[in-house]
């Protein structure tokens, strides 16, 4: 059964399942969820713990099945933890996990299993081994906290240690400042929140107290930049571009992400204009998740000529990030990327004549 991470505590209290599968790439939330499951298992009497880490293609799956079938000499109940960092068990592993799922169902009274996985794609989620686990386990998806939800997450964590921001606009500004400083780095966000708990007593925190204590530990990735551009978030996109440059990201990779989105938008616009259903076009273009919703919102505003001109600008920028100078563009690759990014956001929100004047 698939559930969200925030539903896990209530599900554990019901105690109906004897297997929990955690999958996701957010280290802090993944670790906290795993710790919560281990704590519940200890309280429920599963005091003996065995850990099996699947590393490489030569893991002995028979050892896992053998460990599960053996009765413990020291405890009537045991916790078996299966760690699969790659999320790809292979053919032998797939068969072994399916057998293990059947076995775990039969020994539901004295065996508890925790399976730790990275983020799974659609193919992995629909695989035979994952389907077998899903039939007997609580499958918890550990989603990252996106920028829009980050202020509320920070406020919740502050409240857990007896602190809160000021009311009304001042508090919202404080949370927004905090979120800007820690975006993309939840582990560091957790550390900064804990630091505030050490520096200040329970009660109300002012913007000045937060700004003096919270370091700029934000971490950005190219694909989040792409979401900011398609979402028209100018300030956030500029901040992320500066952060990527400071972190030493390759300008070529940033350009590829921006140009790839422009090509995708033109393909989608052309196909929809030809009468194809938008849902089918997005599926064929492998567009889903946050980006799928963004493209759906952009569709009424997309203009073919504007997209063609933006792709032309992206070709010029491609040369610039590879060292080919253009007389009408900045020589610095990151300044060229900044110009392309701003042109793209303008072109996706205004009429063609305005964007064409900037080319």
Tell me, yes or no, whether 80 and 19 share the same domain.
yes
* Token duo for residue 45: 């009497």
Give how many domains the chain has, as a whole number. 3
Tell me, yes or no, whether 135 and 159 share the same domain.
no
* Token duo for residue 100: 């293990």
pLDDT of res. 354: 44
pLDDT of res. 71: 59
Tell me, yes or no, whether 228 and 351 share the same domain.
yes
Query: What is the Cα 188 distance to its own chain's centre?
Result: 16
60-69, 123-132, 153-162, 306-315, range with the lowest pLDDT = 60-69
pLDDT of res. 14: 85
Q: Rounded mean pLDDT of 220-237?
A: 90
Residue 306 and residue 352 in contact, taking contact as beta carbons nearer than 8 Å: yes
Separation between Cα atoms, residue 39 and residue 61, nearest integer Å: 26
Tell me, yes or no, whether 236 and 173 share the same domain.
no
Instruction: Encode pLDDT of 274-300 as tens digits.
Output: 999 999 999 888 887 788 999 999 999
Query: What is the Cα 67 distance to its own chain's centre?
Result: 34
| Residue where one domain finishes, among candidates 96, 123, 142 | 142
The domain in which residue 260 lies consists of 222-357
Instruction: Encode pLDDT of 57-93 as tens digits.
Output: 778 888 888 877 775 555 568 899 999 999 999 999 9
**CATH code for the domain in which residue 160 is found:** 1.10.8.60
Tell me, yes or no, whether 117 and 227 share the same domain.
no
Tell me, yes or no, whether 55 and 154 share the same domain.
no
| Residue where one domain finishes, among candidates 96, 122, 142 | 142
Separation between Cα atoms, residue 305 and residue 274, nearest integer Å: 16
Tell me, yes or no, whether 203 and 288 share the same domain.
no
| Residue where one domain finishes, among candidates 142, 172, 195 | 142
H-type alpha helices, the chain:
8-14, 27-43, 61-69, 90-106, 122-125, 128-136, 150-160, 168-182, 186-199, 207-213, 222-230, 234-246, 251-273, 278-284, 290-298, 304-321, 333-347, 352-357
Tell me, yes or no, whether 73 and 164 share the same domain.
no
Separation between Cα atoms, residue 175 and residue 192, nearest integer Å: 13
Q: Residue 60: how many CA atoms within 13 Å on its side-chain side? A: 4
pLDDT at 151 over 80: yes
Is this prediction's pTM over 0.85? Answer: no
**CATH code for the domain in which residue 292 is found:** 1.20.272.10
Give, in order, the Cα–Cα distances in Å from 159 to each of 156, 186, 209.
5, 17, 16
Q: Rounded mean pLDDT of 207-229?
A: 87
pLDDT of res. 163: 96
Tell me, yes or no, whether 87 and 186 share the same domain.
no
Tell me, yes or no, whether 85 and 126 share the same domain.
yes
* Token duo for residue 13: 């209290």
Instruction: Encode pLDDT of 289-330 as tens digits.
Output: 788 999 999 999 899 999 999 999 999 999 999 999 999 999
């Amino acid at each position: 059964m698939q559930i969200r991470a925030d539903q896990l505590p209530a599900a554990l209290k019901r105690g109906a399942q004897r297997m929990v599968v955690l999958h996701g790439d957010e280290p802090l939330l993944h670790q906290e969820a795993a710790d919560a499951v281990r704590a519940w298992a200890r309280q429920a009497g599963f005091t003996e713990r065995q850990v099996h880490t699947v590393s490489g293609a030569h893991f002995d799956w028979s050892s896992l099945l053998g460990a599960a079938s053996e009765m413990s000499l020291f405890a009537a109940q045991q916790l078996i933890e299966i760690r699969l960092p790659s999320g790809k068990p292979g053919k032998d592993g797939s068969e072994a996990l399916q057998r293990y799922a059947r076995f775990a169902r039969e020994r539901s009274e004295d065996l508890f299993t925790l399976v730790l996985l990275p983020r799974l794609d659609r193919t992995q989620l629909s695989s035979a081994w994952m389907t077998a686990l899903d039939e007997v386990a609580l499958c918890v998806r550990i989603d990252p906290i996106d920028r829009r939800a980050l202020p509320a997450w920070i406020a919740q964590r502050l409240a857990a240690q007896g602190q809160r921001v000021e009311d009304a606009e001042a508090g919202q500004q404080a949370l927004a400042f905090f979120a800007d400083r820690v975006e993309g780095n939840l582990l560091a966000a957790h550390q900064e929140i804990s630091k505030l708990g050490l520096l200040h007593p329970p009660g109300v925190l002012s913007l000045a107290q937060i700004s003096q204590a919270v370091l700029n530990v934000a971490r950005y990735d190219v694909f989040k930049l792409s979401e900011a551009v398609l979402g028209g978030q100018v300030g956030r996109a500029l901040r992320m571009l500066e952060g990527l440059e400071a972190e030493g990201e390759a300008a070529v990779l940033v350009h590829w992400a921006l140009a790839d989105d422009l090509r995708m938008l033109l393909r989608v616009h052309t196909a929809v204009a030809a009468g194809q259903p938008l849902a089918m076009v997005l599926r064929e273009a492998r567009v889903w998740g946050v980006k799928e919703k963004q493209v759906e919102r952009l569709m009424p505003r997309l203009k073919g000529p504007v997209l063609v001109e933006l792709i032309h600008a992206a070709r010029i920028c491609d040369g610039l990030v590879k060292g080919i100078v253009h007389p009408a563009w900045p020589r610095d690759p990151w300044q060229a990327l900044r110009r392309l990014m701003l042109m793209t956001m303008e072109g996706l929100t205004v009429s063609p004549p305005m964007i064409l004047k900037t080319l």
